A and B are shown apart, each in its own frame.
Chain A
Amino acid sequence: RKEVEQDPGPFNVPEGATVAFNCTYSNSASQSFFWYRQDCRKEPKLLMSVYSSGNEDGRFTAQLNRASQYISLLIRDSKLSDSATYLCVVNKQAGTALIFGKGTTLSVSS
């Protein structure tokens, strides 16, 4: 089983749609979870951390289920500018190496 698995997509949605990405991780000892965004030909950038209680940042909601080792990202009211690859990221503890999923590609069209 891969350390971090994601549905690669692509997800093609119209503007205004709600889209959800899922991710599973294999190491039950993992402590920190993140969603990164990577635009074409750019470096990945931290989108948001994922907390056990679930957290929201504007149109973005992240959730974590430790029992199922499952992470999700929900994007509401999609914008054209949301088109990117979304990377699910896990590490064992703060300050250590990040393990990246292969990413899920989102394309939002008008």
Chain B
Amino acid sequence: SAVISQKPSRDICQRGTSLTIQCQVDSQVTMMFWYRQQPGQSLTLIATANQGSEATYESGFVIDKFPISRPNLTFSTLTVSNMSPEDSSIYLCRRGQGRETQYFGPGTRLLVL
């Protein structure tokens, strides 16, 4: 199975600060996706990270709040900017290339105080 790692696995942050989450996959993929799972909720897609172009954001999510980088085909970062307690969530990255390779990273648990 594919290997996807995320850093950090968890963090506790103060409101107003920013956190950058890293996602590393073990083989090159064209598209990577960032999701959020708030407590007791299902997963919500934040954006699609395409290598070589700007990320595509879903309704309700903006680049200023969730800037994304995709410097190469195996790595992406998601930054949660100017955090508030409402940003407390699990953030997951997923690799996507074909229907069979749908693996999620282990997630980053974020608590904002």
Contact = CB atoms under 8 A, between A and B. Distances in A.
Interface of A: 32, 34, 42-46, 49, 87, 94-103
Contacts of A95: 30-31, 96-99
B42 interface: yes
Contact of A101 (B42, B103, B105): B42
Nearest to B92: A43
Give 8 closest A-B pairs by Cβ, nearest first.
A43-B104, A102-B42, A100-B43, A94-B99, A100-B42, A97-B45, A43-B107, A103-B42
B41 to A, nearest CB: 7
B18 to A, nearest CB: 23
B33 to A, nearest CB: 6
6 contacts: A43-B92, A94-B98, A95-B99, A97-B58, A98-B43, A98-B45
Contacts of A87: 42-43
A79 B43 CA distance: 26
B111 to A, nearest CB: 14
Contacts of B103: 46
Contacts of B44: 100
A44 B45 CA distance: 14
Contacts of B48: 96-97
A98 B42 contact: no
Given A87-B42, A103-B42, A97 B96 contact: yes
A96 B96 contact: yes
A44 B96 contact: no
Contact of A46 (B35, B41, B102): B102
